[in-house]
Structure 1
Amino acid sequence: MNIIVCIKQVPDTSEVKIDPVTKTLIREGVPSIINPEDKNALEEAIRIREKYGGKVTVITMGPQQAEEALREALAMGADEAYLLSDKAFAGADTCATAKTLATMIKKLEYDLVFCGRQAIDGDTAQVGPQLAEQLGIPQVTYVKEIKVEGDSLIVKRTLEDGYEVIKVKMPVLLTATKELNTPRYPSIKGIFEAYREKEVKIVTASELGIDPQEVGLKGSPTRVIATTTPETERAGEIFTGNVKECVQNLVQRLVEKHLI
């Protein structure tokens, strides 16, 4: 089974800062990680390959530094990796991102495409569904459980008030939630192979054969007007003492603020 996993390198959200002038994320000096739910997607892809055979390919779009995310994915157990990196891809919204990823995926053989449910730096949950539309394949989102049955999948997806079970024929795109599994840590052997033996293939816009006007900022219908972080207006208060004293103090403060 050929499985493709789309991952994204994102800033560690505990470290995110906003430029007060440009209203964009300050990425310099900020630690980057693989988007958490993309790791769940990768873990599930590796588990399926281990059980049924095949190949796991990871793809990301980003600057050269995104190669680190792909190396980590290779260390976890992915077989090959592609980095879509070109100035023409910069500033892409979810629509342009999906188009670029789809153009690459169409050049590969695949039975199953995985994405994380959403990225922690944007929280749109749009790239997966838009990618499925670009590829012309069915999609199942918010996946928490998967069972392979011949050329089909039995998928359990999370709903606000329960879950839904769907049978879908491959090829199909799935978006993974954190409930799907617990991602593994790379092994020493996996790390060695990822950095010494395996290759991250760099792909540019010209190599993709894609029109620069249809990707990146030029191909993005979305425009971000402003980005802000919540301001803390007052300091928090910590109550000390036993449970009864803390509850009494809390109730008193709530009464003083006319909240109860």
Structure 2
Amino acid sequence: MKIAVFVKSVPNPASRPELSEDLRLKRQGREGVLDPGDEHAVEAAMKIAEAHGGEVTAVSMGPASAVAAVRGAIAMGVQRGILVSDTILAGADALVTARVLAAALRRDVYDLVISGVESADASTGTLPMTIAQLLNLPSLTFARRIELRSGAILVERQTSRGYNVLQCPLPCVLSVTAAANEPRYPSFKGVVRAKQARVSTLSLADLSLGPSDVARTQSVVTAADVAPKAAGEIVEDAGAAPARIVAVLEKAGVL
């Protein structure tokens, strides 16, 4: 089985993000790390490959420094790495990113494509489904439990009210939630192997894509800090508390 897993280099989530004048996230001179959500995708890919046999390839798009995310996946056990890097792609929107990654996947044949739910920096959450559409593949999203069966994959798809059980044939695109697994820590041997591993770097020309194929159609027009959360409500009257709790839940649409 051949599995592709998407990984992304994002600014360290522990640091405060900064925007440039054109409202693009500043990456220059800032530490890039493997997106925490992608760690769950890598773990899911590794578990399937270990249980059923196969090879896992980490696929990413970004500047040359984004190779750190690919090497992070290799340190976790991934066998191969591919980075699509081209100066024309600076500031690419979600649709362009999907087109480029889909083109990279077309260079080989994969039985399963796995991703996280959304990136920690852009948080669009649209990439897995868009790539599935571009590749004409079925998609299973928000998987919290994964089971590989003969020629098919069965998942519990997390919803706001619980989960749905879905199944589809391979090949397909799968996105996994943080509840799907606990990512493994890279071993010392894995870290050493990742530093020495050869990561294939592709340009737009290698993917037979031109400037018109990656022209942005989306842009950020404004940005603002998220409003701080309001202080919670304290109900000191024990007799009034139940009715107040019910009213709050009804307003939130839970009841």
Instruction: Tell me what 1:201 maps to.
Output: 200
Displacement, 1:56? Answer: 0.1
Question: Whole-Å Cα distance in 2 between the matches of residues 5 and 26 of structure 1?
Answer: 25
Mapping of residues 118-137 of structure 1, within 5 Å: 118-137=118-137
Give the alignment of 1:70-219 within 5 angstroms.
70-196=70-196, 198-215=197-214, 218=215
Give TM-score scaled by structure 2 length: 0.86
CA contact 2:5–2:59 (8 Å) conserved in 1: yes
Amino acid at match of 1:211: G
Q: Which amino acid aligns with 1:221?
A: T
Matched-pair identity in % = 33
Structure 1 contact 15–30 (Cα < 8 Å) conserved? no
Unaligned runs of 5+ in 2: 237-255
Shift of 1:247: 9.3
Cα distance in 1, alignment partners of residues 165 and 113 from structure 2: 19
CA contact (8 A) 2:57 2:81 kept: yes
Tell me the CA shift for residue 29 of structure 1: 3.7
Distance in 1 (CA, whole Å) between partners of 2:26 and 2:211 is 26
Q: Could you say if the C-alpha distance between residues 164 and 247 of structure 1 is closer, same or farther in structure 2, counting changes exceeding 3 Å?
A: closer
Counterparts in 2 of 1:20 and 1:110: CA distance versus 1, 3 Å: closer
Aligned to 1:241: none
Deviation of the 1:186 alpha carbon: 0.8
User: Is the contact between residue 16 and residue 30 of structure 1 (CA under 8 Å) also seen in structure 2?
Assistant: no
Cα distance in 2 for partners of 1:136, 1:192 equals 38
Determine if contact 1:16/1:26 at 8 Å carries over to the other structure. Answer: no
Aligned equivalents of 1:88 and 1:28: distance in 2? 16
**How far off its partner does 1:130 sit?**
0.3
Alignment partner, residue 229 of structure 1: 225
Please list every run of 5 or more consecutive structure 1 residues that lacks an aligned counterpart in the other structure.
237-245, 249-260
Larger radius of gyration: 1
State whether residues 18 and 228 of structure 1, in contact with CA within 8 Å, keep that contact through their aligned partners in structure 2: no
Paired residue for 2:45?
A: 45
Moved more, 128-137 or 206-215: 206-215
Give the alignment's Cα RMSD to 1 decimal: 2.0
Distance 1:195 1:27 in 2: 22
Alpha-carbon distance in structure 1 between the residues aligned to 2:119 and 2:45: 18
Tell me, in whole angstroms, the C-alpha distance in 2 between the residues paired with 1:50 and 1:75. Answer: 15
- If the length of structure 1 is used for normalisation, what is the TM-score? 0.84
Distance in 1, matches of 2:37 and 2:108, equals 23
Partner deviation per Cα, 1:166-193 (whole Å, 9 max, x = no partner): 1110001011100000100111111111
How far residue 20 of structure 1 moved from its aligned partner, in angstroms, is 6.8
- Does the C-alpha gap of structure 1 residues 152 and 231 become closer, same or farther in structure 2, counting only changes over 3 Å? closer
SS at match of 2:14: helix
Instruction: Quickly say closer, same or farther: Cα 1:75–1:161, change in 2 above 3 A.
Output: same
